[in-house]
Structure formats: structure tokens, C-alpha cells
Structure 1
């Protein structure tokens, strides 16, 4: 999973990042008894905001990378 960081502190993962999510979504049992793994195939945008209430983390899914980067432009 390759992450693209947008922000000042890249080591502690504060700020924003975009990554391609291919993690396991669920296991499905078919009618013939076989178990099939379904995987995510989407781009995720991850934002961490720090305010007086503490750290707020916002994660959203997008179909393509450009859409995720455009959404992150709000928080730059």
C-alpha cells in the first residue's frame, strides 16, 4: 500500500495522505460451498485535524486518485 503524503510532518502521518486500498472486504460462501474473498478496489483519502477537542480523523473512499486529491485540496 503506497501512500502519498500531503503535509509537513511525513514521519508521524499527521496531515493528509492518499492511498490505494486493496484490503480484504469480506469472505462470501457461494451456493456450491466455495468461499471467495472479496477485496476493496478504491482510493482512500485520510485527514487528521488537530483542534481544541483533540485529534479528528476523516477517511473517505473514492473511485479514482484524482477525485481523492481534489477532496484533500479542501484541507490544505
Structure 2
């Protein structure tokens, strides 16, 4: 289990939906920033993929809150 998965699991176990939403929003802002700023010679593919994967994990955790409601 990597770091983001441990953080998500912690927030889920604490039933802290707000923290998960803030984490998702933060990752989305990071992704938007990477996409908006092009740097010559820098290929942000790995960063984009990682952030998208993290957002998907967070959204899956948030969906579990909706299922339990």
C-alpha cells in the first residue's frame, strides 16, 4: 500500500469525507497546474498519470460514503 492509499484508508476509517474531498480538490489543482504550465524539455506524463490515479482512488473512497448512506 503506497502513501496516498494509506492516507485515504485513514480518512475512510475516520469517516472524514471532508478531508477526502479536500485531498481530491488539492490533487485536481495540482493536475490543472501541471497541465497549464509547460516547461521546455519536461514531459509531465508520469505526474499526470499519478495524479489522475490518485484522484480516481479518492473518488472511489468517496463513492463508498455514498453507498453507505
Coarse TM-score class (shorter-chain normalised): under 0.3
Relative contact order: is structure 1 or structure 2 higher (C-alpha 8 Å, sep ≥ 6)? 2
TM-score (norm 1): 0.23
Q: TM-score with structure 2 length normalisation?
A: 0.24
**Which has the larger strand fraction?**
1
Which has the larger helix fraction?
2
Q: From the CA coordinates, give the structure whose radius of gyration is larger.
A: 1
